[in-house]
Amino acid sequence: MLRLSLDAIEVVDAIARHGSFAAAATRLNKVPSTISYAVGKLEEQLGVKLFERNGPRVTLTPAGAEMLREGRWLLAAAGDLESRLRQIATGYEAELRLVHDSLIPTEALVQDIAAFETLACGTRLRLGSEALTGTWEALRDGRADLVIAAGEGPAGGGHQMLDVGRLDFVFCVAPLHPLARLGRPVARGDLLAHTAIVVGDSARGLADRTVGLAAGQSRITVPTMAAKIACQSAGLGHGFVPRACVEAELARGGLVELEVEEPRAPETFWLAWKTGADGRALRWWRERLSRPLVPALLPRSR
């Protein structure tokens, strides 16, 4: 009889991710004593120690780390099997993973989420956010079923796309930034003398994407476009930002638009999914989001 169950692997995974029995209990909606008993029983049955205890904090032993490496693959495989079986029975997936570009706030999709929940179809909805190429990578690597992504997808195909809008970009700085007093179009050489504010690409395997950034240029990397705009408004640097996001700042003079010798082309956004994927939840979301999403969903775009 097998001593290692999927439930046990899930418990070990939760402890490893969150660092303590108490945090794992909260994540799994259980009491800490249940988690502690489950781990102790599993270690007894396997005859190996899975965790080193150091007060409330715990760390994996080498044996625990090895078990979890293989165990996470089993959890993913079981989840895929569950989804396939449920889809065969009802047409609806067990889970639908929607990942959007970090430029779009998740709260902008609340009405769409509410409409999906009224279906009561049983599909669990998981939303995530990635930046730049990271969104495409999530689709390629199977961490997303549907993405709202900027720019062209990775080479090799394997996905289908629908144009859901374009963004115009404006180069701007704070009013007191030295570039604001230049009195002529900003050249590439001018940019090298000042710090750029850039949004970090969240891709883990695909090559990072940078736009309008010269090699060796001084930069501050931030996680979101909102942070980039805040840094530029504070006079910390320069860069291109979506015009739809800064219209108010430009109107009241918090940011100044500058003419540049090398303007940034408009950015196309895509709704994309894996070729051949056709669950009912995915179809619902494809139809629901087949509309101009940008700049409509952007903060301060109206």
Q: For residue range 92-117, list pLDDT tens digits in order.
A: 888 999 999 999 999 999 999 999 99
Contacts of 155 (CB under 8 A, 6+ apart): none
Would 6-87 and 91-166+267-288 be classified into the same CATH topology? no
Domain ranges of the chain: 6-87, 91-166+267-288, 169-257
Within 10 Å of residue 204's Cβ, how many Cβ atoms?
A: 12
Among the four given CATH numbers 3.30.70.3040, 3.40.190.10, 3.40.50.300, 3.40.50.12160, the one describing domain 91-166+267-288: 3.40.190.10
CATH class of 6-87: mainly alpha
pLDDT tens per residue, range 155-189: 778 899 999 999 999 999 999 999 999 999 999 88
Contact 121, 92 (CB under 8 A): yes
CATH number at 169-257: 3.40.190.290
pTM summary value: 0.71
Question: Position of tokens 């990072």?
Answer: 208
**Cα-flanking dihedrals φ and ψ of residue 3, to 5°?**
-90, -15
